[in-house]
């Protein structure tokens, strides 16, 4: 079963487009968890157990594990293995925003798909097709390409209008549209190769989301930015849902995982996840 099929199954089974972001920051974990030998893993495990029926995916951002060195990476791997063993129907996304020259990307792909064994990865398209291809050729995996990111600085480059003809850009693609629209079109083109591309579009930019959805009626978008980053859920759903009322993986990290800092943290995370899942589903019915 490939990533898209796995995703579709769990969206149906759990009736959810919510993805919980497993981004455990040691400075924010409850004190009783910090006393444990593997705090990142124990924290994740509790969140996973409480939210497993409420999500369509878990997304782990590599930075939060790399920051803790070897022990962090071990706990990332343990977290992924835990989901695979206990809840194999739930896809795990590695958020690493990787990509480099081809042979280096090959090593990143090995790390993600063989060492960690995740179902999907986020990649950065800045280096172009040959940097993405080593990921793409893993046809059963989801390759989630940054398009319009949720952060304020995303406008620095992504909103620049491609007015002139320069370097190797052929005249016919030179147009007054912003870079993120050009990237979206490239992603759609790359998706025709193996059908395993998705795009990242931040919930903080609903107008841009609308324009990207108009380009592709059915591609799945990973949408971060709801909760702590202040993204607009209502507009995200209004503009982003496909005709089948699907096509979005709505990632929420901090607003769920840090809902409480006490002994009840996983219970409170569950309550937040229920609220968000239900809010999302109001727009799907
Ligand atoms: P919260 O803001 O805590 O919900 O977490 C958002 C997560 O999504 C983090 O892991 C970010 O690195 C990630 N993210 C963004 O916030 N914005 C983006 O444009 C892209 C991503 C991502 O690729 O997931």
Between 62-76, 158-172, 177-191, the lowest mean confidence (pLDDT) is in 158-172
pLDDT digit string, tens, across residues 15-70: 999 999 999 999 999 999 999 999 999 999 999 999 999 999 999 999 999 999 99
| Neighbouring residues of 160: CB distance < 8 A, sequence distance ≥ 6 | 178, 179
Q: Using 50, 70 and 90 to split pLDDT, how confident is the model at 176?
A: confident
- pLDDT at residue number 166: 54
Ligand 1 pocket, residue 249 CB under 6 Å:
no
DSSP labels for 240-267?
H--TTS--EEEEE-HHHHTS-SSTTHHH
In DSSP terms, which residues pair with 200 in a beta bridge? 146, 222
Whose C-alpha lies nearest to ligand 1, atom 4?
253
Distance of CA 58 to the CA centre of its chain: 9
* Angle between helical axes of 129-136 and 179-194 (0-180°, round to 10): 40
Is the CATH code 3.20.20.70 the one for domain 3-284?
A: yes
Mean pLDDT of the 109-120 span: 98
Q: Residue 10: what pLDDT? A: 98
Mean pLDDT of 202-218: 98
Determine the average pLDDT of the residues in 103-108.
98
Quote the pLDDT of residue 27. Answer: 97
What is the model's pLDDT at position 59? 99
Q: Residue 108: its pLDDT value, please?
A: 98
pLDDT band for position 285 (50/70/90)? Answer: confident
**Cα(231)–Cα(222) distance, integer angstroms:** 13
Catalytic residue among 6, 45, 52, 97: 97
With a pLDDT cut of 90, the percent of the chain lying above it is: 94
Q: Of 168-172, 253-257, 279-283, give the lowest mean pLDDT range.
A: 168-172
Confidence of residue 162 (pLDDT cuts 50, 70, 90): confident
| Average pLDDT score, the chain | 96
Pocket test for ligand 1, best of 209, 224, 228 (most atoms within 8 A of CB): 224
Query: What average pLDDT does the segment 154-163 reach?
Result: 90
Q: In this predicted structure, what is the pLDDT of residue 22?
A: 98
- For strand 197-201 and strand 142-148, is the pairing parallel, antiparallel, or unpaired? parallel
6 assigned to active site: no
Distance 214 CA to ligand 1 centre (A): 23
């Amino acid at each position: 079963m490939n990533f898209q099929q796995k995703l579709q199954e769990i969206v149906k089974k759990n009736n959810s487009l919510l993805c919980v972001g497993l981004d455990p920051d040691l400075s924010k974990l409850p004190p009783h968890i910090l006393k444990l030998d593997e705090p990142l893993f124990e924290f994740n495990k509790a969140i996973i157990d409480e939210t497993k029926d409420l999500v369509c995916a878990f997304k782990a951002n590599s930075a939060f594990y790399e920051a803790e060195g070897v022990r962090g990476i071990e706990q990332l791997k343990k977290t992924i293995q835990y989901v695979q063993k206990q809840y194999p129907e739930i896809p795990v996304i590695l958020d690493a925003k990787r990509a480099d020259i081809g042979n280096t990307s090959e090593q990143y792909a090995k790390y993600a798909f063989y060492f960690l064994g995740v179902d999907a990865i986020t990649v950065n398209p800045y280096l172009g097709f040959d940097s993405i291809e080593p990921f793409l050729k893993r046809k059963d995996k989801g390759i989630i390409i940054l398009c319009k990111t949720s952060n304020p600085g995303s406008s620095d480059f992504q909103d620049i209008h491609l007015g002139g003809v320069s370097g190797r850009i052929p005249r016919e693609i030179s147009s007054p549209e912003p870079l993120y629209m050009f990237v979206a079109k490239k992603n759609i083109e790359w998706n025709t190769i193996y059908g395993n591309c998705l795009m990242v579009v931040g919930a903080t930019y609903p107008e841009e989301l609308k324009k990207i959805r108009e380009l592709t009626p059915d591609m799945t978008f990973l949408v971060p930015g709801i909760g702590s980053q202040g993204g607009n859920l209502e507009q995200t759903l209004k503009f982003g849902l496909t005709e089948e009322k699907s096509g979005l993986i709505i990632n929420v990290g901090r607003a769920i995982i840090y809902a409480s800092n006490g002994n009840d943290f996983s219970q409170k995370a569950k309550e937040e996840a229920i609220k968000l899942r239900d809010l999302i589903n109001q727009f799907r019915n």
